[in-house]
Amino acid sequence: RLRRRLVECRYAIDKLVPHLLSIYQSLIPPEEEKAKQKQLLLSLEKLVNKQWPKAQLHIYGSCANSFGVSNSDIDICLAIDDADLSKSDILLKLADIFQSDNLQNVQALTHARVPIVKLMDPISGISCDICVNNLLAVVNTKLLRDYAKIDDRLRQLAFIVKHWAKSRRVNETYRGTLSSYAYVLMCIHFLQQRKPAILPCLQQMEATYAITVDNTKCAFFDRVEMLRDFGAHNKESIAYLLWAFFHYWAYCHDYTNDVISIRNGGIISKRSKDWTRRIGNDRHLICIEDPFEIEHDLGRVVDKFSIKILREEFERAADILQFDSNPCVTLFEPY
């Protein structure tokens, strides 16, 4: 009888597929947005090159990792080799350059965790954050983008999870909840763990792409066109996976002992990383290993209050998908 109940429940969840896919479609940015971003990047690069002819601008974050919704701000990294200037000086100089070109709201935040210059382009209305030499972020952006090319369900799942997290206000690192980047890593880990697996572990495969950034070796398999059938044996629908994702984080994840690692393709122990106790402000109450900066826990922002909120939100989401009469609305109800 239990088995029958489970089958019925899965059948009911699978009926949500069209509704979830239409939500996903509505979140995807239109092509012309990409073109506008490229345009702006080129014109900013031209300005920068007047001062530093060899400097380059790279887009990273959601506008380049394929997990960006419409009207996202663009994250830009300035790659520059100027031994005479400190990072702060470079940022102040950048702010000067942009200010004199009529870009708006130009602001150098030299004391932020990641120091940046913020600006707004009055022609396109696009806002940008520009950081200096944060090339690891450019490489992890490529890794995420490559994962997204393997199976469409990753992009669908991550868009819906990000949309849920923004609606429920659990995507605010300054309030102790998780970054978008952390949610995408959670989705990749989850799809690596399905049986049969929907995603491989690119960092455990033969490296076809390798680069050393700030003494960190980054290497992974990036010929992902060869992996388009990887997840084909797994027929789970996006609706079922969404439910299973929340169910995993609500009821199955071992918060006391486990670290999720997309680098390793599974779970590793908190003990092996020495993440069992609070050190400084890092509490390790939910542990998400960065794929390249492996001493870096993306869950470190979560405190004893926000972990409770997060776990309650995971439970709420799983329960709504299973029991609510109008789940695709209730799930995203503003908090």
Closer residue to Mg ion (CB): 116 or 321: 116
Q: Judged by CB under 6 A, which of 13, 55, 136, 331 binds ligand GTP?
A: 136
CB of 218 to ligand GTP, least distance (A): 11
Is residue 102 exposed (0-12), middle (13-18) or buried (19+ Cβ within 10 Å)?
exposed
Neighbours of 294 (CB within 10 A): 15
Structure tokens at 55: 């400097």
8-16, 70-78, 161-169, 312-320 -> range binding Mg ion (CB under 5 A): 70-78
Dihedral through CA 258, CA 145, CA 236, CA 257, nearest 10?
Answer: 0
Helix then strand then coil, % of the chain, to nearest 5:
45, 15, 35
Q: CB nearer to ligand GTP: give 136 or 309.
A: 136
Binding-site partner at residue 179 among Mg ion, ligand GTP, none, CB < 5 to 8 Å by type: ligand GTP
Beta carbon nearer to Mg ion, 60 or 246: 60
Residue 224 carries which DSSP code? Answer: G
| CA distances (Å), origin 318, targets 25, 142, 206, 240, 251 | 22, 31, 37, 10, 9
61 binds Mg ion (CB under 5 A): yes
Smallest gap from residue 61 Cβ to Mg ion (A): 4
By CB under 6 A, the residues from 169 to 188 that bind ligand GTP are 179-181
Q: For residue 327, state whether it binds Mg ion (rule: CB under 5 A).
A: no
Looking at the chain, list the stretches that DSSP marks H as alpha helix, in order from N- to C-terminal side. Answer: 2-14, 17-27, 31-51, 87-99, 135-148, 152-167, 180-193, 238-247, 270-273, 304-323, 327-330
Taking the complex as a whole, the smallest distance from the CB of residue 140 to ligand GTP amounts, in Å, to 4
Place of tokens 């969404």: 242
Hey, CA dihedral for 225, 228, 230, 231, is it positive or negative? positive
Measured from the CB atom, is 13 or 185 closer to ligand GTP?
185
Binding ligand GTP (rule: CB under 6 A), the pick from 37, 66, 133, 141 is 141
Which tokens is 236 given? Answer: 């789970």
Residue 176 contacts Mg ion per CB under 5 A: no
Contact partner, 60, from Mg ion, ligand GTP, none, Cβ < 5-8 Å per class: ligand GTP
Under rule CB under 6 A, residue 33 binds ligand GTP: no
d(CA 11, CA 28) in angstroms, rounded, equals 27
The answer to whether residue 128 forms part of the interface with Mg ion (CB under 5 A) is no
Quick one: which of 13, 57, 65, 90 contacts ligand GTP (CB under 6 A)? 65
Identify the CA nearest to 284 among candidates 262, 265, 301, 272: 301
| Binders in 208-267 for ligand GTP, by CB under 6 A | none
Shortest CB 296 distance to ligand GTP, Å? 6
141 binds, among ligand GTP, Mg ion, none (CB under 5 to 8 A by kind): ligand GTP
Please report, as ranges, the residues that interact with ligand GTP according to CB under 6 A. 60-62, 65, 67-68, 72, 75, 136-137, 140-141, 179-181, 290, 293, 296, 298
Please report, as ranges, the residues that interact with Mg ion according to CB under 5 A. 61-62, 75
